[in-house]
Chain A
Amino acid sequence: MTGLMVNICLLALLVVIVVMVMRTHRLFAVVVLSGAYSLICAVIFVNLDAVDVAFTEAAVGAGISTVLFLAAMAVLPGTEKQPPRAHTLTSNLAGLVIVVIVGGVLMLAAFDLPAVGDPNAPAQVHVAPRYLVESDEVLHIPNVVTTVLASYRGFDTLGETIVVFTAGLGVFLLLCGATRTARRRMARPEQDQGSGPYEG
């Protein structure tokens, strides 16, 4: 019962944060609020006993993402650009109808989902029992998440690592190529004035 109340409070907080993100146009506030959103998600994951996921969410979502967004904000204007024309009543209504229909369908579908933690759910009876038993008793690795991630699903993790590698390399090549051109562009007028800290 306490767990349910805690979850309801946390989910209500998430809704409040989302509304605040939607209503503000200051990017700094949006970045900090999305960090708070991730942190509350991490607390919810802890409440669901998914400690590894919570750890990742807290470190990546609340920590590094916020810092990276702030670093990206250094090159962005502080406020969001206003849309060219204000939303009309009809466009708002159409959006509301679509959201209500999709939300209703999703809630209908959610009734068919197994209950949280149901041991007879299809996801729990396929290969999970073998992993749970084998990881601790045969391999002596108590954290099943690590065994699944690195051993049973080693191919997937290799793919994930390559995705992270490729994404980092792509961003680096794009942005640092731009830096060099930008610096050259920046350096030229400064050289004309005789004080260029960024030449060469």
Chain B
Amino acid sequence: MKDNVILRVAAKILFAPIIVFGLYVQFHGDYGPGGGFQAGVIIAAAFILHALVFGLEAGRRLFPLWLNIWLLAAGVLIYGAVGVASMGLNGLFLDYNVLAASPAAGQHVGIILVEFGVGLTVTTVMLLLFHAFAGFSPNAFAEDDIVEGALAQDDIGKGAPDAADGEARQ
């Protein structure tokens, strides 16, 4: 897919807007639909698009594995740390009211931080899953993309359409 100019240019144009949209969904979750889970998936989609078009190795150079693993743990730790911090400020675990001067402001701070932790974990888990599955076979993504590979496999595997098979069995 590296040789396809249209895909390459489209991926380059789309990469940044997808991430900006992900950040919008992440930090606008208080006011509109969205939040950490959705934003994490959207940001992961940007990196996966990059890896699909420019190859797995380029994707790993852009977002290295060590960083992925660290951020994976950091997301859960941020969430837990907010809870511990509110305990340190004489509140209960995950009681955001004590995090700022007024309870309402504290809730805003707590929710933004917690959603950030969720988003970080979801992004990195999705990327990790993608790289784990796509990199499972040493030959996957070596020459061309999975979609073309799957289609080619289909064409080689069974020339006859499966509908005829199904009817024959019944």
Interface residues of A (CB under 8 A from B): 23-28, 51-52, 54-56, 59-60, 63-64, 67-68, 70-75, 77-79, 86-87, 138-143, 145-147, 149-151, 154-155, 157-158, 160-162, 164-165, 167-169, 171-172, 175-176, 178-179, 182-183, 186, 198
Contact = CB atoms under 8 A, between A and B. Distances in A.
B170 to A, nearest CB: 8
A149 B45 contact: no
Given A73-B146, A74-B140, A24 B162 contact: yes
A179 B138 contact: yes
Contacts of A147: 107, 111
B114 A165 contact: no
Q: Is the interface of A mostly helix, strand, loop or mixed?
A: helix
A186 B34 CA distance: 44
A150 B110 contact: yes
Given A73-B146, A151-B110, A68 B76 contact: no
Interface string B95-117: 01000000110011011001101
Q: Name the residue among A51, A59, A63 with the largest chain B CB count within 10 angstroms.
A: A59
A74 B31 contact: no
Contacts of B125: 164-165, 167-168
Contacts of B79: 157-158, 161
Nearest to B135: A179
A146 B31 CA distance: 9
Contacts, number: 194
Q: Is the interface of B mostly helix, strand, loop or mixed?
A: helix
A60 B79 CA distance: 21
Contact of B121 (A138, A142, A161): A161
Contacts of B117: 161
Interface string B71-109: 011011001100100000000011010000001100110
Contacts of A138: 103-104
A151 B111 contact: yes
10 contacts: A24-B162, A60-B37, A74-B149, A75-B137, A78-B158, A139-B104, A146-B30, A150-B36, A151-B110, A169-B128
